Amino acid sequence: MNKAPSIAAVEAGKAHVEDHLSYFTTHLKASARPAVPDEPRLSIPGFAELYARNQHAHGHHFVVHQHNHPVAGCHYDLRLQISLTSSVSFAIPYGLPGNPNSLRPNRMAIETRVHNLWNHLIESASHASGSMLIWDTGEYEILPRQIKIRNDKMTDDEMSAASDADSYRKPGSARTSESEKLAEAFKGRYIRLRLNGARLPKKYTITLRLPSHDILQRKPPISSRPVRKRRRKGPDTTIHKPTPPLTDSDSEGIVTSSRRNSSVVVGEDDEAVAGASDDEAEDATIRATNAYTGATNSVGSVHQRNWFLTLDKNSSGFERQENRWVSVHAYADNGGKRQLGGFESFFVMGADVERSVVTGRTSSDVMKDEDVDGFMLRKMWRPITE
C-alpha cells in the first residue's frame, strides 16, 4: 500500500493528490484537539461541507490563515475565492481589526500571489515556512460601495439586499455572483467585504481601499532608485557611489513600516505555502503572472501593492454616539425596531494565544504535530490592543 505524501511535499508541488479536500480533512481530523470552552469551533464535517459547496466557478469561500513565519514573523493571510481554482490573497500583519474605537483603526493589507483554492484547507508547519493554521473560514459577501436607504424602518439586511440589487444586477440577467462582484470591486480598487465565518462576529464587515499611488504597482525600493546629487554652495568632496538595484530574489521579505514605525516583514513569506517549484522557468512564470502553479490571476492582482483595511463600523452594526462607536442591538424608531447588530470588541493576540477554528490547535501544537523542533520564532510582533 502506497504511503500518503507529506503535507510539505503537497504544498511544495513535489507531490500530487487527486482529492485535496479528502487529503487535508483526513489530516485535520487526526490532528484535532478537544474543544476549549468559549473558543469558536467549526466541526470537520462542517468544514468539509463549507468547502465542497463552493467548489465551482462562482464559489465565495474565504480563509484567514495565521502564519507564524521564521523571517516574516506572525501575520495573517486573507484569501478570497475568485474562481473555481483560485483565490486573491492579502497579508495582514496585525490581523483583522475588532475594536471600533481603536486608536489604530487602519491596517495594511498587502497583495501577495494568487493562490490555489485548495490552499484554504492547509494547516501545516516546517522549518522553512513556520506554522500555518486556520484562524477563521466561511463565505464572503461583497456589499455595494454605498447603501441607499429607501426607508428608515428597513432592517440592515433589507437595505443591503435592496442596494445589492441596484448595484450589481445586470439588466436582463441573473443575479451576479459574489465572486463576480469581488472581481468588479477589486478592479475598482474599493472592496466592501462582509465575512461570514465561524469566529468573526455576525455581520462583520471591512473595507479595502487601494490608494491612487499604488494603482499600477508598488514603487521600486529606495535602494533601486537613481541617486540624486544635491547642489551645494561649497565644493562637494563626497564620493557618490550608486547602490545597485535589487534583484527579484533580493527583494523577498521587504520590510514595511507602519505609521508608528513598528516594522514587520511581509511579502514572499508565503511562497513555501503555495507550492512554488525550484525550477527557474516555473518560478519566472509565477512572478510574471503573480499566480502560483495551478492558479489563475483573473483579476489583475499585482504583487505587494498596499491596500488600506478598515472596519466598516456602520455595516458591522455600530452607531456613533458622542465620541464613541457603540453597539446598538435594538433602536426604537417611531414605534418600530431596527436590528443593528454590533459586537463586543475582540483583539487578535498572535501565535502564542490564537487557536485554529477547525482543529483547536495553537501554533506550537501544529509545530509539534509536524515534528518541527528548534523553530526560532521572530519576537517582533505585538498585538494591537489600544
Q: What is the pLDDT of residue 330?
A: 54
Of the CA atoms within 13 Å of residue 238, those in its CB half-sphere come to: 11
Q: Give the Cα separation of 331 and 259 in Å (integer).
A: 37
Low-confidence ranges of the chain (pLDDT < 70): 1-2, 147-174, 214-278, 329-340
Nearest in space to 191 (alpha carbons), one of 82, 116, 64: 82
Query: What pTM was estimated for this model as a whole?
Result: 0.79
Q: What is the pLDDT of residue 207?
A: 98
Say if CB 252 and CB 246 are below 8 A apart: no
Q: What is the pLDDT of residue 257?
A: 37
Q: Is 128 helix (H, G, I), strand (E, B) or coil?
A: coil
Domain coordinates in residue numbering, the chain: 7-218+250-369
pLDDT in tens, 72-118: 889 999 999 999 999 999 999 999 999 999 999 899 999 999 999 99
Question: In whole angstroms, how large is the CA radius of gyration of the chain?
Answer: 22
Burial of 347 (0-12, 13-18, 19+ CB in 10 A): middle
- Please report which helix (H) or strand (E) contains residue 111, including its range: strand 106-111
User: How many residues are present in the chain?
Assistant: 386
Say if CB 178 and CB 141 are below 8 A apart: yes
Q: What is the pLDDT of residue 276?
A: 39
